[in-house]
Chain A
Amino acid sequence: MPDFTDNLRPSQPDGPTTLARERRQSNIATEELGHHLLASDGFLERQARILPIIQQEPLFSKDQQQNLSRPERFKLGVARAKLLRRMRDTHRWSYLEYQMAEYLVDDVSPYFLHMEMFITTIREQASDEQQAYWLPLTKSWKIIGAYAQTELGHGSNVRGLELEARWDSRTKEFVLHSPTLTASKWWNGSLGRLANHAIVVAQLLLPDPGSPDIYVSHGPHPFIVQVRDMKTHQPLNGIVVGDIGPKYGYITMDNAYMLFDQFRFVTRLYPYCHVTHYIYRSLDYLSITPRYSGLFGLVCNSPVQGQVITLTRIYTKPEKPALIYGSLTYVRSNMVHRARLVLARAVTVAVRYSSVRRQFQDRDGDKKGPEMSVLDYPTVQIRILPLLATTYALHYTGLAMQTVYKNARQDIEKGNFNSLAHMHSMSSGLKSLCTILATDGIETCRRAMGGHGFGGGSGLIQVNNDYLSKPTVEGDNWMITQQVAAYLIKKMTAAAESPDTAGADETDARFKEFIRNKRCLGSEKRTYDILNSDLDVVKSFELRATAMAYDAYEQRVMKKQNWNSLLIQLHKLSRAQSESIIVATFFDALSNDKTLSTPIKSVLWDCFRLFALYSMENESFEFFRSNAVSQADLNALASRVQDLMARIRPHAVKLVDSWMVPDYLLDSALGRYDGRVYEDLFNRAHRLNPLNRITFNPNYWEDEIVKGSGDNGGGILSKL
């Protein structure tokens, strides 16, 4: 219905005018930079090709999704996921293309665990026979699987799992049983409502060969179990399974609970033994101390063929530890790479909106012109521009991790395992730091946008809610930093034993040099010239991390301090080490690059400096204490950071444009490419908002809620 609001325009200068001016004032070629960042594996081309296909489908319209109830939103998620899977067939998409489509739709897929963990676990851990049976069923989606490890009472500590799988040698069956409520599986994605099969991790209980009535636990092992009827989709007898309820985000995922009551595998359905060798996921947590890295394995014959289970317990090293570490690094490098795109989304919205949004006039100005663009306020810049620099830092870090992974794989294939521990430590620390940078960064961007950042039109609500799970998955960020510290302490201990020998690797050499310098105290008090040399910036980060590693070594090894009392310090050490790696890889990437044009190169160098010096300023005391940077230089940091922000500021809009995030994915009134912020906000509120189709009865003495419905409030209560 037309009304007077149709003729209203935003006050001038409006968004399009402002963004056009922003884009004119920078000489950066966004095509070139976008290509540099995203073209190498065909990402940009795929995005351009698949976007219009997705946008054509009404089911993928994002207009109403924020208004739906949990059940309806979940149903929408399932409907979309089904359609995407069908489209993969229709369009003959490769897996990468399919992933692009998912990325653009931006729902967490309720089939995610089927497509990732379920298949991967079978592929990596099932025997050849088992694979021959299960893989075709899984790949063709004839069965839908999930992965059930975490329990109500146990997350990171896999050894503490309570679910039992007892081998009944009489009937040749496994019996799954949950002895307590805390043994309930919990948080297991895709299992709450969708999957009919699951890989279930349980404590394997076998009869003691000497006295068969006594059962002995052999630690956690994975089993493939059917959990729902293939026809009715109801849980099988003896299984209780369901969705765990509303969450902060992940609204389209049916995270599950699941309990077993003396549930027996019917061997007829399962021609092969389901005991496989090892739960690779758990290694990450178990490897905190060396005593856990001796691994359980179990050799068993097929119950069908031999009807016996050979009770030979073999303590072996994992067959291919390298691959296990390796795939973790791979997963984590992907997380870092994804982190940069998620952060880039948030920064895109924040930079564009902060350019369009105006507030107050410059106090020292003539007070005649329009209000200032809020991105010209240093208090806004200091929240957004370091994050803009962070997107680039994460980009090069992700790339470097992939290279390290490739090289390590090659080494390993040659039988050289030396780089493993280093790689594992690096990926632990970086996963922790990078996901925190992205998570906190999204929220910082959202808040930097004032009131409208809180609104649904910001486009940052679902992404924030979904992404907030990242600091805890794949290794809780606070837990895994211990591994970095443990590794560094070990390296420092080794270096301290023979500081005068040549370094075995880069870290070792750096540590030995540090120890030698420490010995002749006072002989070298040189600090780095961080304000004038980019290389010195890198060195100062290294020195700070080394000094902190030495402190930790001193506390733990020399003074024998309690591990628990050091955890805070170790966490800081991990951060220092990871920051040092990010800064160094950023530096190397820019130093080695021979392709980028001068304007882009020079602004990226400023981004490097901003990221490094801003991080340094936040922890300046650590740099001072480790003699990496002089007090005078630290005092000058604040104004240097501000100068750098002023230099990057004119390029801000083009720097975010270069990430090429399509408007459809942003789903943000504030972050639109064309700057029509207010028109879009109004359109969403006025035309797309279902609440405005309902007239309320506001009188408190009348129980009726919807005017004229005569509902007496009963309709509302019936939802309970």
Chain B
Amino acid sequence: MPAPPPNWVKALKPSGPQGSELLQQERAQSNVDVERLSELLHTKETLERRASLLALLQPEKVFDKSQNHTLGRVERLQRSLAKAKRLQQLAEEHKWSMTELHAANDLIGEPTPYGLHASMFLVTLREQGTPEQHKLFLERAEKYEIIGCYAQTELGHGSNVRGLETTATWNSDDKTFTINSPTLTASKWWIGSLGRTANHAVVMAQLFIDGKNYGPHPFVVQVRDLETHQPLDNAYVGDIGPKFGYNTMDNGFLLFNNVKIPHVNMLARFCQVDKETNHYAKPAMPSLVFGTMTWVRANIVLDAGGVLARGVTIATRYCAVRRQFQDRDADPHAGETQVLNYKMVQVRLLPLLASMYALHFTGRGMMRLYEENQSRMKAASSPDQESRGAGPEQLRAGANLLADLHATSCGLKALASTTAGEGLEVCRRACGGHGYSSYSGIGPAYADYLPTLTWEGDNYMLTQQVARYLLKSARAVLAGKPAGNDTSQILQAYLDRRDKGASFDVLDEDKDIVAAFAWRTAHLTFEALKHRDAEQRSWNSLLVDFWRLSTAHSQYLMVKNFYEAVSSPQLSAALDPETKGLMHQLFRLFSLHTLEREAAEFFSSGAVTVRQITLTRTTAVLKLLDEIRPHAVRLVDAWAIPDWQLDSSLGRYDGKVYEDLFRRASEENPVNDLVFDPYPWNSALLKNEPAKSKL
């Protein structure tokens, strides 16, 4: 690393007012009780656990973050594995729970090559394995004696699991399965932890018995030698190469050339091939799998809030420290204006600030629904036995709470991850030039987050499921057989009032805002139903309508969840009245800003009038920006993201933005070790290294 700068440089201070003073001023002008709000968001226990983990991790050299963005791909992955190993050693030493391991990983801030072993591999073995298989695979996996991954996606197939090409053929003679990749597109692809790390994989393959295809099923396959870590014969495995982000993960490819595995390697808790009769036994409880996906998606929604909070924290603090130009109408002798005072900056950042709260409360709401459903399912004597179709349209739209939740969860996953992903980029751009530096901390977080928009169901594909479900529900309502869930209620309410029309007072009544969002969703649902049923339009031609419908419905759910959270007695008990009032303002900003952006749908559905939209645009949103502005820094402080996790010069809690940018550039930047010969006709590249370019 370059030598530290001379003393005259060390003595320099940023021009005043200092970032630290500006943030102090910001914090002084608001009464938000940061601590109480933090505890409401995260619980006291979580905050304390995080603090002790931080104290443990930060001093370890292996977790140093300073070179994350300068290393080459090969070195980065090596370092990432070193981090993963150390984390696991610490986990063992301190007997961490899964939650603690996750929290530690969050603090490290990047995916590691053990990631898919610790999550999907263990979860799949646990949920889909029999007790015998638990003994054989799970116990060893939990001790990391075998390291695994989850190999579903293929080179030619992602979201469409039924289109997978890898085959598992049952050999009745020697009671084995043959795993094979018939084509190049059958190659497993994108499989996290598989590229260089795992020696086992749960492989999803089309099960063939006696020439008949029974669809995709999970098989445990060993892919590398436990001693040499070299691929086994006829298994071809490797890392898929550099990516937009996620470069600390070894996403892998995998091909099989007729590899035989024993009968016991097909995960058999829900479905199995009978060794003696060669018969296939059907899935017993598919709804449980449904439940897992819902749980995963609820987590994605919750995480989306956290991820967005990172970007908003950085951008808000930096925009409070950064000053640019004088206000055109202000006293010309005043200093430059903090950019956070510009309406153009506020309108980009503050609605995102509101969104991160909306996402958080929505995630919490989903989680609660999931838990209620789990207990209800456990209580029910005969769970829904219907086999899984392509989506909930095939399910009974009766009182099936799971269907309501499932439709809810996939639409919200799409909206939440898109909001967070795009929001991060908005935050990065709002930071101006310095946002482009890796030291901003936003760019790298954005690049690592982007896959979430695709995995667990591509955001655009998922919206079809929501539409199917809404159409089904609408048909039931029209047939006079509405289910007793919220979706049916809003559809019914719309039908009841359709002739009279809506007259929601969205500018003054919070609950009318929720009603207006419900109205718009219901309106779009019946429009789509008309296209599909009365006009008999093709499914494909309606995909764009469905996507809009799903977005509308998910926005409604966020608005509703946000409203319920801010009106809840728990929130009133946890916060002082002023902060509680601010939560209501955030709710209004989130809702009205959304309403204003989607103005056409609100207007054409008759949910609101043109005048109301104009007033929202020119008055209401601006007023909310003014009201929330003084509290912006405290509202991000309440998210309590440690500096070490943010890893951002711009977003530091203490506001020492410029000192930190300069320190990193001058002292942590290996490019400054290179002294170039700048002249084209001298072939030597460097003056301080032998003339040999390393390519």
Partner of B669, one of A244, A566, A691: A244
Question: Assuming the A-B contacts A79-B693, A625-B610, are A11 and B664 also in contact, with contact meaning beta carbons closer than 8 angstroms in the complex?
Answer: no
A150 at the interface (CB under 8 A from B): yes
Once the chains bind, are A624 and B544 in contact (CB under 8 Å)?
no
Once the chains bind, are A11 and B15 in contact (CB under 8 Å)?
no
Give complex CA distance A75, B79 in Å.
23
CB-defined interface of B152-166 with A at 8 Å, one 1/0 digit per residue? 010111111001010
A403 at the interface (CB under 8 A from B): no
Q: Which residues of B contact A694 (CB under 8 A)?
A: 74, 78, 196
Once the chains bind, are B70 and A69 in contact (CB under 8 Å)?
yes
CB A622 to nearest CB in B, in angstroms, measures: 9
Give complex CA distance A219, B178 in Å.
78
Give complex CA distance A16, B681 in Å.
44
Interface size on A, residues (CB 8 A): 153
B368 at the interface (CB under 8 A from A): no
Partner of B665, one of A69, A155, A243, A458: A243
Once the chains bind, are B236 and A3 in contact (CB under 8 Å)?
yes
Once the chains bind, are A703 and B547 in contact (CB under 8 Å)?
no
Once the chains bind, are B229 and A642 in contact (CB under 8 Å)?
no
Partner of B165, one of A11, A240, A380, A719: A11
Q: Which of A106-162 contact B (CB under 8 A)?
A: 141, 144, 150, 152-157, 160, 162
Once the chains bind, are B82 and A72 in contact (CB under 8 Å)?
no
Question: Assuming the A-B contacts A10-B184, A192-B671, A240-B6, are A379 and B547 also in contact, with contact meaning beta carbons closer than 8 angstroms in the complex?
Answer: yes
Once the chains bind, are A9 and B344 in contact (CB under 8 Å)?
no
CB B464 to nearest CB in A, in angstroms, measures: 9
B88 at the interface (CB under 8 A from A): yes
Q: Which residues of A contact B234 (CB under 8 A)?
A: 4
What are 5 A-B residue pairs whose CB atoms fall within 8 Å in the complex?
A70-B671, A74-B674, A187-B433, A242-B672, A249-B436
Q: Which residues of B contact A152 (CB under 8 A)?
A: 14, 658, 661-662
When C-beta atoms are compared, the residue in chain B nearest to A196 turns out to be B678
Q: Which of B393-424 contact A (CB under 8 A)?
A: none
Q: Which residues of A contact B543 (CB under 8 A)?
A: 377-379
Once the chains bind, are B599 and A621 in contact (CB under 8 Å)?
yes
Q: Which residues of B contact A377 (CB under 8 A)?
A: 540, 543
CB-defined interface of A481-506 with B at 8 Å, one 1/0 digit per residue? 00000000000000000000000000
Give complex CA distance A443, B13 in Å.
39
When C-beta atoms are compared, the residue in chain B nearest to A180 turns out to be B15
CB B622 to nearest CB in A, in angstroms, measures: 6
Question: Assuming the A-B contacts A359-B160, A563-B329, are A71 and B673 also in contact, with contact meaning beta carbons closer than 8 angstroms in the complex?
Answer: yes
CB A482 to nearest CB in B, in angstroms, measures: 9
CB B433 to nearest CB in A, in angstroms, measures: 5
Partner of A705, one of B81, B157, B460: B81
A456 at the interface (CB under 8 A from B): yes
Partner of A246, one of B69, B329, B425, B539: B69
Give complex CA distance A625, B596 in Å.
13
B274 at the interface (CB under 8 A from A): no
Stretch of A45-53, A471-479, A583-591 that contacts chain B: A471-479
Question: Assuming the A-B contacts A245-B439, A379-B544, A461-B244, are A69 and B88 also in contact, with contact meaning beta carbons closer than 8 angstroms in the complex?
Answer: no
A700 at the interface (CB under 8 A from B): yes
Give complex CA distance A468, B436 in Å.
8
Question: Assuming the A-B contacts A86-B680, A719-B75, are A691 and B229 also in contact, with contact meaning beta carbons closer than 8 angstroms in the complex?
Answer: no
CB-defined interface of A366-393 with B at 8 Å, one 1/0 digit per residue? 0000011000111110100000000000
A232 at the interface (CB under 8 A from B): yes
Q: Which residues of A contact B645 (CB under 8 A)?
A: none
B659 at the interface (CB under 8 A from A): yes
Once the chains bind, are A162 and B15 in contact (CB under 8 Å)?
yes
Once the chains bind, are A625 and B329 in contact (CB under 8 Å)?
no
Q: Which residues of A contact B613 (CB under 8 A)?
A: 621
Partner of B239, one of A11, A461, A692: A692
Q: Which residues of B contact A363 (CB under 8 A)?
A: 539-540
Once the chains bind, are A155 and B432 in contact (CB under 8 Å)?
yes
When C-beta atoms are compared, the residue in chain A nearest to B439 turns out to be A245
Question: Assuming the A-B contacts A244-B665, A634-B600, A682-B184, are A691 and B671 also in contact, with contact meaning beta carbons closer than 8 angstroms in the complex?
Answer: no
Question: Assuming the A-B contacts A75-B674, A244-B665, A691-B195, are A451 and B451 also in contact, with contact meaning beta carbons closer than 8 angstroms in the complex?
Answer: yes
CB B675 to nearest CB in A, in angstroms, measures: 5
Partner of B185, one of A160, A250, A678: A678
Once the chains bind, are B70 and A70 in contact (CB under 8 Å)?
yes
Question: Assuming the A-B contacts A233-B677, A451-B451, A692-B239, are A245 and B436 also in contact, with contact meaning beta carbons closer than 8 angstroms in the complex?
Answer: no
Question: Assuming the A-B contacts A67-B73, A261-B8, are A719 and B67 also in contact, with contact meaning beta carbons closer than 8 angstroms in the complex?
Answer: yes
CB B472 to nearest CB in A, in angstroms, measures: 14
